[in-house]
Structure 1
């Protein structure tokens, strides 16, 4: 197992502690579950989509929970009829739990289940007060900083 020393980066970065902790944790994490299969797509500048193949599950058997920067998708099948005898069972109905780490200000906008595919739409919404802005530099005798231009694209 290879570990990285991030201490030289701490000298020139501020506020990236969480990022370095996340990178360090990936080396210690158990193998990711490979079921159910899923895709993660970037569908726009600040829009993302997670698509999961959950054939056989209904909307009442899937739970999506977002708590801070963690998205948890879990599924649990209801008890099936006991008198059903399968000659071949190829559709997996085992319970699952999949977690996704979300960046700051990424929130779930919608979730849809259609044709066995669960689609979760996410969007990053940075608060207006945290977007970049240009600050005027005051000279002697002038008042404090004043915003003279706001960058709407950032």
Structure 2
């Protein structure tokens, strides 16, 4: 018996890319750090909020690579003169990835009280009706 996938189903033509995106997201290695929320802010708006306490704007990078939103954080520990008696706050790096649907774009990002807010907008889809001519032979 063969495995039925999105790309092989007879009614789902052209969805091979969706299957590849799901596989890529499953392999992206997102762990539980940093914690995040995703909320719908309007009919076409979304907001991803990451808890990035201890990170400054310079420590964070937000990119969109091949319809994938990638948020990276890397703290710089430049001060070698500090002597820690206990270090419970780790200066660890992270990478969080979110797959964006076609038509969803990053509208902006802001930091507020240790939270990084990334706003997304979904464009209004164009309603297109196409008439196909039937050729006779």
Q: TM-score when scaled to structure 1?
A: 0.72
Residue 126 of structure 2 aligns with which residue?
131
Residue 146 of structure 1 aligns with which residue?
none
Question: Which of 37, 40, 48 lines up with 2:38 in the alignment?
Answer: 40
Q: CA RMSD in A?
A: 2.9
Q: Number of matched residues?
A: 132
Q: Could you give the per-residue CA deviations for residues 1-23 of structure 1, whole angstroms, max 9, x where no partner exists? A: xxx52269621122222123334
Q: CA 1:30–1:78 in structure 2 vs 1: closer, same or farther (change >3 Å)?
A: closer
Residue 149 of structure 1 aligns with which residue?
none
Q: CA 1:135–1:82 in structure 2 vs 1: closer, same or farther (change >3 Å)?
A: closer
Unaligned runs of 5+ in 2: none
Q: CA 1:20–1:46 in structure 2 vs 1: closer, same or farther (change >3 Å)?
A: same
C-alpha distance in 1 between matches for 2:57 and 2:132: 56
Q: TM-score when scaled to structure 2?
A: 0.79
Determine helix, strand or coil for the equivalent of 1:60.
helix
C-alpha distance in 1 between matches for 2:119 and 2:128: 29
Q: CA 1:42–1:68 in structure 2 vs 1: closer, same or farther (change >3 Å)?
A: same
Determine helix, strand or coil for the equivalent of 1:19.
helix
Q: CA 1:31–1:69 in structure 2 vs 1: closer, same or farther (change >3 Å)?
A: closer
- Identify which of structures 1 and 2 has the higher relative contact order when contacts are C-alpha pairs closer than 8 Å and 6+ apart: 2
Residue 13 of structure 1 aligns with which residue?
12
Q: Could you give the per-residue CA deviations for residues 63-118 of structure 1, whole angstroms, max 9, x where no partner exists? A: 11112301111111112311212233333321111111111111111100111000
Of structures 1 and 2, the larger Rg is shown by 1
C-alpha distance in 2 between matches for 1:45 and 1:60: 32
